[in-house]
Structure formats: C-alpha cells, structure tokens
C-alpha cells in the first residue's frame, strides 16, 4: 500500500517483523526495522525520496563504491519518553556534518529538507520500533555512497542516499582498557579524518585488532607525525580529566567534530567544570597517571554517549585509573541522556520533538 507523508511516497511492508523481536535483549545495530528511506542522485540532481520496505541493494560490480570508496555516513538516535512522545537530539547538526563529509569526498550535497522530512516520515512509519526500555533507543544510520558505474578513477555520476534504523540496547557495557598507538595513524593533515567516511573506520580495524590481541579493547589514536599527541579513542572523541579539569583536543582535519563532544563541553561548562580544548601530549597523560593526577579518561560518541576508560597501556607499561564514587563521565552522560529522553529541561535547545 502506498501513502504520502511530507510529499514523500511511502510503500509499506506487507507484514511486520516486530512481533519476532525481543526488545529486552537487543544487540547494538543487529536488528533492523521494517522500512528504510531511499533517494537517488542522477541526471545531475537528487530525486524525490521514498520510503520502502527494508531490502537488499543490487549494484553493478563496476559501481564506484566498490573501487574508489566514495561513501559517508552519520549516526544518530530517536528516543521515546514516558508519554511515548518521540525525540531526536541535534538532528540538524547531523545533516550539516553529512554534507561537510560529502563535499570532502566529492559527493553531491543533500538538501536539508530531504534529510529532515524523510527522516520524520520514516520514524512516523516505524514509530513502534522505537524502544522504551531504559538505555535503549532507535539507532539511525543515514549514509550516501557512489552507485554510478565505471572503472575510471573519478567521482561517480550517480549516488544513493539511504536511512536505515535499528532498535538497539546499550553500545558498551562496563569500562574498557585501551592501548596508546605508537605506530599507526587514524588520519593525517590534509586528509579526510574530519569526515565520517567509511574508509576512515576500515583503516582502524587492523591496528585495533593488534591491540585486542595484546589484551586491550580499543586504541587511543595519536597524531600522524610524531605520535606525541592524543587525538581520538577508537571511533570516538576522547576526554581526559587531570585533577578537576576536563581536557579534549581541538577539532582539525584529523579529528571528527563530534556532536556528543560539543554537547559534553557545553554541559560541563554550564556545571562549572573547568574545560580546556587544547592539544594533549601522551607524556602529560602518562605523567598525570604516575603522580595520581589523572582521574578519568573516556570516549564520547553517538552510539555509547560516554564510554569510561579503566586503564591504558603505553610502551609496554600499564596504568590503571582510580575508581571514583562520583565521576564526570557518569554526571555528563546522565545530563545528556536525560535531555535526549525528555527527563530534564533542555536549556540548550538540542531536543527535537517529532
């Protein structure tokens, strides 16, 4: 059956999979909702988006995504409060960042109304898929990739924009132990580290596996030139607390301008927590760990919100962080999730009600 919402054609699935889903035991990003949004770029312009049943994609073997890696994506979530109202968190920041990433990868930028109207229509169709369990949410994955054909090393002439959703539980459980990277780099000056490009993440997998083989769960990335400066934690921005000061590195063409990162900085400052946005040396972190001044380290990103770090390894030496009763990580995570789920006032104007 076909209907129209916000001038977007909606073709509904004949049957829903939702009755087969155990919402009390959701693994992150492994169960997918009934529908997805599709929009094609061809003949020099983005076509009208439509919502269709979730389905596999058929591509020609010469599609340029396979050969030249033109792909960008975003990560965001939808939440329900106790009244079953639906909320997003800073969604316009996601479309802005998607287009920043697209431009860097020579992908045509997407009209903001296609993104926002399409997302709202998709969430209305699959509203029942948004979990109400504590700590759960509907993870949203918008992405664009090159669907045009040809082996010539040049930008594609056709692209596909898709939004898929996945009801998910918590991304991480417990604290993680990380290894400060001394050899490999996540990104380089003048590169695409600031973009959410698929290849950025593919390049992380091998060094991360080497760290896992050594008994760590993640890698702390350092700068590409000297490996003297801490930059990111796995696929997340990183924060370090030395004494009572919260420190995070400045964004650059190597570091993603994280939406959760920006939110943490704003909330921390509103709470009177001293915040410094500056370069952080590995030596500073190691010295602080040795003299007891290093209180916390944590990653920040959409999926986990905040992921506390229990300890780190560097140059064959391990350092454990203290176990504190009250942490910035727990305080800031609660502040963000309470705003996201409409449990507290949103003085920043981040919460977006559908």
The pLDDT value given to residue 3: 64
pTM for this model (two decimals)? 0.95
pLDDT band (50, 70, 90) for residue 148: very high
The string of pLDDT tens digits covering residues 272-281 is 999 999 999 9
Question: What is the spatial distance between Cα 342 and Cα 85, in angstroms, rounded to a whole number?
Answer: 9
Q: Which class for 4: exposed (0-12), middle (13-18), buried (19 or more C-beta within 10 A)? A: exposed
The pLDDT value given to residue 169: 86
The pLDDT value given to residue 171: 72
Report all structural domains of the chain as residue ranges with CATH numbers, in order of start.
2-168 (3.30.470.10), 176-340 (3.20.10.10)
The string of pLDDT tens digits covering residues 311-332 is 999 999 999 999 999 999 999 9
Strand partners, 214: none
Q: Which class for 45: exposed (0-12), middle (13-18), buried (19 or more C-beta within 10 A)? A: exposed
For residue 175, pLDDT over 90 is answered with no
Instruction: Please answer whether residues 294 and 241 qualify as being in contact, where contact means their C-beta atoms are separated by less than 8 angstroms.
Output: yes
Mean pLDDT computed over every residue of the chain? 95
């Amino acid at each position: 059956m076909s209907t129209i919402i916000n001038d977007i054609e909606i073709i509904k699935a004949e049957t829903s999979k939702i009755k087969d889903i155990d919402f009390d035991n959701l693994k992150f990003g492994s169960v997918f909702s009934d529908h997805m949004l599709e929009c094609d770029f061809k003949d020099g312009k983005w076509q009208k988006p439509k919502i269709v049943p979730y389905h596999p994609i058929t591509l020609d073997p010469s599609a340029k995504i396979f050969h030249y890696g033109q792909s960008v994506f975003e990560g965001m979530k939808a939440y329900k409060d106790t009244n079953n109202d639906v909320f997003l968190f800073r969604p316009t920041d996601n479309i802005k960042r998607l287009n920043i990433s697209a431009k860097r990868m020579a992908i045509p930028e997407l009209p903001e109304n296609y993104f926002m109207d399409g997302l709202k229509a998709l969430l209305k169709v699959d509203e029942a898929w948004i979990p109400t369990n504590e700590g759960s949410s509907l993870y949203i994955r918008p992405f664009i990739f090159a669907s045009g054909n040809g082996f010539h090393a040049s930008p594609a002439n056709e692209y596909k924009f898709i939004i898929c959703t996945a009801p998910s539980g918590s991304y991480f459980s417990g604290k993680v132990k990380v290894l400060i990277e001394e050899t490999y780099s996540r990104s380089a000056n003048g590169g695409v580290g600031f973009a959410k490009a698929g290849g950025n993440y593919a390049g992380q997998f091998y060094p991360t596996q080497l760290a896992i083989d050594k008994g760590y769960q993640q890698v702390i990335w350092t700068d590409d030139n000297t490996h003297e400066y801490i930059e990111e934690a796995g696929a997340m921005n990183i924060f370090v607390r030395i004494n009572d000061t919260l420190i995070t590195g400045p964004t650059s063409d190597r570091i993603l301008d994280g939406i959760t990162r920006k939110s943490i900085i704003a909330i921390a400052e509103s709470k009177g927590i001293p915040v410094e946005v500056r370069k952080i040396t590995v030596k500073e972190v190691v010295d602080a760990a040795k003299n007891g001044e290093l209180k916390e380290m944590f990653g920040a990103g959409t999926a986990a919100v905040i992921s506390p770090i229990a300890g780190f390894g560097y140059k064959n030496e391990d350092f454990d962080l203290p176990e504190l009763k009250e942490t910035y990580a727990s305080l800031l995570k609660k502040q963000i999730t309470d705003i996201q789920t409409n449990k507290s006032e949103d003085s920043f104007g981040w919460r977006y009600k559908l």
